[in-house]
Structure 1
Amino acid sequence: MKKITIWLMLFALTSTTYAQSKLNIGDIIPEVQLTNLLNSTSANISLSSLKGKVIILDFWATWCGPCIPAMKKLIKFQDEFPTDLQVIGIAEDKPERLQRFIDNLPSKVWFGLQTKELEALFPYRILSHAIIINPEGKIVAITSTDNITKEIIQKVKNGKSISLPLKQENITFDYDADPFPLRKDENERVLLKGGISGVASFSKGYLNDENYKGRRLTLINLTIPSMYRHLYKTSYNRTVFEIDEEKYNYKDPKNKYCLDVITETSGDEMYEKGIEKLNETFAVKAKLEKRTVSVYVLSVIDRTKLKTLKSKTEKRSLVFQGYEFNGKKVRMHDFADYIENECPVPVVDETNYMEFIDIDFVFDPQKKGSFKEELAKIGLKLSKAEREVEVLVIF
C-alpha cells in the first residue's frame, strides 16, 4: 500500500458536539469570556470588550494542513488592519504545540484553545471554520476561512453588508454509525450514491469490525478521482491527470459521491468491485502505469541511530496527523507513506530496513529545517531524485 490516507481533504474532522444555544448570522454576540489566551494583551478577555473592531474567530488546528496557509493569510490581514481588526485563532490542539506555533511565527493574532462554551455557541465538525463579527457585535458571516479577503474586512469595517457562502454542516450526523445499514438478507453489495450534504469527506475500513473486516469499504463525499485513488490505494502525489482536474473540484457539491462495497469474502475483491462500479458509471477512468517522475528518496545516513528504532512492543499501533507520527511495531514503508503526506512529490523508501520499528516523530512546520533535523536525529534523510514509480493516470 503506497499511502495511508486520512480523508481530511481540504478540511479536518473534529469532535465538536451540537448545542441548541448556537448563534447564527444576525445574532448579537453575548458576554463570551475568552480565557487562557496566548499572545494577547490579557489572558482573559470578553468579546464584548472588543466592540468597535471587526472580530474574526477562526477555529483551526496546527495539524490541519489547509488551516496553516489560511491562518498565515489572517496574520497578514491583522497587520494590515492593526487597530480595526482582531483575529482570534481558537485551536483544536495541544497547548504546547500551539505555543510552538506562536513562537515560530510571531504575529499580533491572539490564540486560545477550544472550550465547551465556544463549542455550544459555534458548533462545527469541519475545519477550518470562521465567524466574522462586525464592530457593533453582530455576526455577519459563518464561513470557511479561505473565503475571507481584505476587501471583505474593509466592507465590514465600513458598515457595509457582505455576502459570503454560509458554511452549513450536518451537526447531528453520526460519523461512527453505519451510514448505509444493510437489510437482513444482504451479505454483499456495491452501492453508489450522491453526496451527503453538510458532511466531511471520510472513509471507513472496518478494521476493528469482526463481521466486515477485510470485506467492506465505505467512501463518503469523495470526488471521482479521489474514489479511484482510494480504490487503487495510491496518493494524490502519485496521480497524473489527463483530464481537467478543476471540473471535479471538491468544493462543488455536485462532484461528491458515496460508495459502499461489501464482498462475501475478505481481500482485494472489494477494491476491484468498486473500480468496476466506477468504470461502468462514469466517463472518467483510471489506470496504473510506470512513469519516471521527480521524487524524494528516503535513505540512511546513520545506521547506528536507525537501529535504536527496532521495535520492542508486541502490538501494532499507528497514529499520525500533520506534524506528528506515532507508530509502534510498524514498517519503514509506513513512515515513508506518512512523509509523502507532507511532501509535494512521491517518497521512495530506499533504506532497505526491514525490521519492525517504534517511532515517535514530531517536527515544527513553521520552523525552517525542522523536518530535516528531526529525520537526522533518527539517522535518515530525504534527497531529491528521479525514479520510475507506479502512478495512477486519470483519463
Structure 2
Amino acid sequence: MNIKASLIILLCVSFPFVGSSQIRFSETIQTSKTATDTEASLFFVDFWATWCGPCVYASEYLGVLQKQYPDNFYVISLSEENPDIVKKFLKKNPTDLAVSIDYKGETFRANNTRVLPYGLLINANGTVLWKGSPTDFKKADLVKYLKQNTRTKDVNKVFKVQKIKQEVFEADYIPSADFEMKQLKGETYETLVRNSINGYIHYKGFLKNIIAREYNILLSQVKLESNLNKTYEVYIKKGTNATFQILDELKLDLFHTQSKGDVLMIDISNINYWDTNQIDWGINTAEYLIDDSQIQADNVAFKDVMYQLASVLNLPVVTKGGEPDEELHDWQIHHRFYNLMQSNMLDTYGINATKEPGSFKIYTIRKKTP
C-alpha cells in the first residue's frame, strides 16, 4: 500500500464556535479571485499554515470547489502565522482563494484547532453546518447545503477584520547550543506547539504539556503545582533527551509512582513493523494524519505513534513483550471502533492490543529542596 502526498493531516477533536456573532480576523491578505461576489449563503473557513505541506493540497481542492461554485459560496484560507510569513509564502505558492490572518489565534482557539488542515462550513447566520478535513467536504455536500441555506450575507459582515499591532517578522531562529530554554512572559498556549526547525525540536507551551510530550504520556499522568506550570519556549537538538535538562534548568525534581486503572496493553512480542515506504507525504510536512477514525503517520517512531493513540483514546498505553525499536516507520491505525482497532493492529503489525486493568506511571514534579 502506498499512500501519496494527497493525504491530509489534521486533528480537531472539539468543535465549539462563535455562534451567530462575527468571526474576527486580524488582517485580509487577499480577497477571492474566483468568487463572483462578496455576498454568499455559505462560507468555508480553511485552517492552514505555511509549514503544513498537506494544507497546500487541501487548499487546491477547495479552490476547485470555489471555481465550480463561484456564486453563494466563499472560501477563506485562515492562518495564525505572522502575515509577512504568509505573504512571502504566497509569492511562491499563489492561490485564487481569499486569504486572511488570525494572528492572535482567536478563531483557532475557539475551535480547538490542533493539527492542520481543518475546515468549517458556516451559513450566513454564523451557524456551523459541517466540520472536518477539507478534502472530506464533497461536491454533493456543498450542493445539499446550498439548497438548505438560501439567505445571503456580505462576507465583511460575517468575518470582521480587526487590525492589531503587527510584530516584526524575523527569520527562523537558529539555536547556538544543543538545549535552549526561556520563559514566555504574558503568553499562554491552550495546546502545545511542537515542530522541527533546523535539526531541533521546538516547543512552545506550558511546562506540563512539554514534559508529557517528552515522555509520550497523557497530561493526566503529570502532576505539577499550578504555580510551577508556566509557559516556556524550548529548543532541543534532535536525538537528545531534554527532560532532565529542563528540570535542572528550573531546579525541579521528578518522581514517579504507579497508579492502577484501565490501560491499553500493547503486546509487541510478534510485532511486524512497516518500513518507511508505505506513506510518503514529502519533505518538511507534518508527521501525522489524525481524524475521527484513524491515525496515519509518515516516518514516526513507535513511542510517538503510541502517544498519539493514547491521546485520542485518553487511555494510558503500556507495552509488554519486549522493547520497541527506535527506528522510524509508517503507520495506519484505526481508533474509532475498538474491535476494528484490535483487528487492524493485529493483522497489519502483529500487535495485540487489549483494554484491561493495569498499572501505569504517574510523574510528580516539585521544587528541589534546598
The alignment's TM-score, normalised by the length of structure 1, stands at: 0.47
More strand, by proportion: 2
The alignment's TM-score, normalised by the length of structure 2, stands at: 0.49
